Amino acid sequence: MKTAVMIGSHGLEAFRPDLLEHPDEVRFVGIFTEPDAAQIPAPTRAFLETEHLVPASLPDPGRLMRPQVAPAAAEAVIANLLQDTPAQQVTLHCQGERNMLIVAGLRERFGIQGPGRADIGPYRDKLLMKRVLQDAGIRVPAFGAWEPGRYTADSPGYFQHISEAVGLPFILKPARASGGEGVFPVASFEEFASLPHDLGTGGEDAEYEYEEFLRGTMHSVNIISAGGRTLFAGASQYLVRSAMTTSGLVNADMNLPDGDPRVAPMVAFAERVLHALGRLDGACHMELFHTPDGELVFLEVGARFKGLAGLAAMQRHYGLALANTVFAIESGITSRPYDADRMPCFDAAFLLRRGVATRLVTPDVESHFEMRWKVRPGQRVDATGELGGTFLLWNESEEALQRDFVRLADYRPVIYA
């Protein structure tokens, strides 16, 4: 019997254990932090034979850091598991950005099959990935590594240097973060001078980069690969830039029809990116810009599915059990085809702002929708950036769904005092 260890909750809800062709050939073990496990619905975790709760890597983790397990604690769980299970019968599964390198290190430590740290590195480090792609002749934003010492010693001179290198405005963001965390758009020296004085300090994990501000429409390409071949590819259009969601805008992600003329060029572009970085088996989520003059520009990529409700929306939109497909690639345990009707669908999410949430507003749309609120009327929000909710919209009419996508540009789910 094989043992599949699921590390972190990301993508778990989309997995369908009831579709497994031979469920008696695998047992499931979960490793989660306590704050991450609290977010998993009971029906989702019901297929786990054993669940291990381990400390988070930080004593007081924020929203995006809650799933990140303490490496030593996860290692102890795996070591205990391998006392009576051969490493050849164990696979480690992770779709969460914050745990990717940790899981890769565990594979190396115990001789478990799957990508190691060197394989995952170009998909995790934004500076490294852009350097590799630039060397391969793929268009990336103008960029550079942030130097805290230069900012402290001569902020006017450093501002001029960056402005001449990448233009104004420019973007500052962590090299290894995700979900728009810690991003600073800079349009003037006044904004530059008001940046945190410790920006980019604190070791490798705190490293920052600066990059060109891209104009155009933001898209994502989602690919499943096996043996260097594409098993699935789809593209989507973002309603707003990811970094804008902290202002309360809805981050909607419209799955594009396969026949949309934008899809094939974006998929081909994404495949060039994967080959340059070292194509891995499994899922990949890539973001890019389609500029006003028709140019495709790489933004970033992860060796995982898209976040939040995006995977569930993709499965419904394409009528495919995508989470099970990747699980089969990683474990060898196959599944039957998706058993629900295909339905044009897209997902959306929104972040909370500081204040008191006095009223929750449902969207005024033509399509069917399902809301998952994570905030209640009267709740005080002490920090900007906490997840306020996710929702799915679906409609047999792709035209009606597109109209609702545009409507959400003006939608504010929460009214604050």
Residue 100 lies in a domain: yes
Distance CA 15, CA 323 (A): 5
Distance CA 60, CA 66 (A): 8
User: Are residues 242 and 162 both part of a single domain?
Assistant: no
pLDDT at 244: 61
Task: Say how many domains are in the chain.
Answer: 3
User: Are residues 29 and 152 both part of a single domain?
Assistant: no
Which of 96, 140, 126, 119 is CA-nearest to residue 301?
A: 126
User: Are residues 285 and 203 both part of a single domain?
Assistant: no
Distance CA 107, CA 186 (A): 40
Is the pLDDT score of 307 beyond 80? no
What mean pLDDT is predicted for residues 268-277? 98
Is the pLDDT score of 327 beyond 80? yes
Distance CA 274, CA 226 (A): 12
pLDDT at 383: 78
Tokens of 194: 């008001």
Which of 320, 299, 302, 175 is CA-nearest to residue 238?
A: 299
Mean pLDDT in the chain?
Answer: 93
pLDDT at 258: 87
Is the pLDDT score of 68 beyond 70? yes
pLDDT at 188: 96
What mean pLDDT is predicted for residues 20-36? 96
User: Are residues 85 and 160 both part of a single domain?
Assistant: no
Residue 179 pLDDT level (bands cut at 50, 70, 90): low
What mean pLDDT is predicted for residues 168-189? 87
Residue 189 pLDDT level (bands cut at 50, 70, 90): very high
* Paired strand residues for 237: 219, 254
Do strands 355-360 and 379-381 pair parallel, antiparallel, or not at all (unpaired)?
antiparallel
CATH of the domain at 105: 3.40.50.20
pLDDT at 4: 98
Which of the residue ranges 221-225, 277-281, 383-387, 411-415 would you say has the lowest mean pLDDT?
A: 383-387
Helix (H) or strand (E) holding 229: strand 229-238
User: Are residues 205 and 303 both part of a single domain?
Assistant: no
Residue 371 lies in a domain: yes
Residue 249 pLDDT level (bands cut at 50, 70, 90): confident
Domain boundary pick from 212, 231, 262: 212
Q: What is the pLDDT of residues 113-154, one digit of tens each?
A: 999 999 999 999 999 999 999 999 999 999 999 999 999 999
Tokens of 327: 């699980």
pLDDT at 202: 74
User: Are residues 183 and 229 both part of a single domain?
Assistant: no
Q: What is the pLDDT of residues 196-212, one digit of tens each?
A: 988 888 776 789 999 99
Q: Which long-range contacts (CB under 8 A, 24 or more apart) does 241-246 make?
A: 242/179, 242/180, 242/218, 242/287, 243/171, 243/173, 243/180, 243/183, 243/185, 245/180, 245/349, 245/350, 245/351, 246/180, 246/351, 246/353, 246/384, 246/385
Question: CB within 8 A of 80, min separation 6: which ones?
Answer: none
Is the pLDDT score of 41 beyond 90? no
Is the pLDDT score of 64 beyond 80? no
The Cα angle at residue 121 between residues 119 and 125, in degrees rounded to 5 = 155
User: Are residues 322 and 386 both part of a single domain?
Assistant: yes
User: Are residues 26 and 166 both part of a single domain?
Assistant: no
User: Are residues 48 and 162 both part of a single domain?
Assistant: no
Report the interhelical angle of 117-124 vs 126-135 (nearest 10°): 90
What is the extent of the structural domain holding 106? 2-114
Is the pLDDT score of 54 beyond 90? yes
Domain boundary pick from 173, 191, 212: 212
Tokens of 200: 């980019």
Residue 132 lies in a domain: no
CATH of the domain at 405: 3.30.470.20
pLDDT at 308: 62
Mind spelling out the 3-state secondary structure of 116-183? CHHHHHHHHCHHHHHHHHHHCCCCCCCEEECCHHHHHHCHHHHHHHHHHHHCCCEEEEECCCCCCCCC
User: Are residues 58 and 154 both part of a single domain?
Assistant: no
The Cα angle at residue 250 between residues 69 and 122, in degrees rounded to 5 = 40
What mean pLDDT is predicted for residues 330-350? 94
Is the pLDDT score of 309 beyond 80? no
Q: What is the pLDDT of residues 227-248, one digit of tens each?
A: 999 999 999 999 987 666 656 6
Residue 127 lies in a domain: no
User: Are residues 272 and 188 both part of a single domain?
Assistant: no
Residue 67 lies in a domain: yes
How many DSSP H helices and E strands does the chain contain? 13, 19
pLDDT at 225: 98
Q: Is the pTM of this model over 0.75?
A: yes
What mean pLDDT is predicted for residues 364-375? 94
Residue 122 lies in a domain: no
Distance CA 345, CA 398 (A): 8
Residue bearing the bigger pLDDT, 110 or 38? 110
User: Are residues 232 and 350 both part of a single domain?
Assistant: yes
CATH of the domain at 180: 3.30.1490.20
Residue 350 lies in a domain: yes
pLDDT at 246: 59
Distance CA 148, CA 111 (A): 38
Dihedral over Cα of 214, 176, 103, 116: its sign: positive
Residue 260 lies in a domain: yes
